[in-house]
Amino acid sequence: MKISMNDTGTSGFFEELILFAVVTILFVSTLTMAAYYGSTKAEEYAKVEFINQVYDFVQKVRGYERILHDSVEGLFDYHKIKGYNSTEMHNLIARDLAPSFNFFINITDCSDYVIKYNATFGTPEDIKYGYYKVVVIYPVNIWVNDHEVHPAKLEVIAWR
């Protein structure tokens, strides 16, 4: 019995299976990484857009006619502010300025006067439930009378 050996052989299915598995794993991992980085970029753009919306909202609050003295932006009239309670003013701002996010506004009197004229609009309890949270602080003034203007800070906390 004579057995002939030649150098040409055929590769079977099992030899190609390993190569197919490696190529498939590389393809799926590349696709997964591309999807992950694409979604991360989209998330960053959404966050930047939200921050811009909050800054625009703060500018509108600084110029909100219902609480300004003589229509001067950033000069809040204490007598107009105290005419509303916290919930009423929050609802008016939400209705008139129509932000697409939740917000809390705090006006803090930073003066050296004995009597402080602070105001808050809204309730801060819900802030912890936001996915995004942005805090913006601007200097403003509180007009009490013609001889008394208090420096203050306007703090707006916005969240989604």
Q: Which residue has the higher pLDDT, 135 or 8?
A: 135
Chain-centroid distance, C-alpha 28: 33
What is the predicted pLDDT for the residue at 41? 82
pLDDT tens profile 11-58: 566 677 888 888 899 999 988 888 888 777 878 888 999 999 999 999
Mean pLDDT of 131-145: 92
Cα torsion 49, 54, 59, 64 to 10°: value is 130
CA dist 136 and 113 (Å) reads: 25
**Phi and psi of 132, rounded to 5°?**
-105, 145
Mean pLDDT of 131-160: 93
Q: Name the token pair of 104.
A: 């809390």
What is the predicted pLDDT for the residue at 13? 62
Alpha helices by DSSP H, listed for 2-159, are 13-62, 78-81, 86-97
DSSP letter at 113 equals: S
Residue 135 and residue 36 in contact, taking contact as beta carbons nearer than 8 Å: no
Ranges of each domain in the chain: 33-159
pLDDT tens profile 89-124: 999 999 999 999 999 999 999 999 999 999 999 887
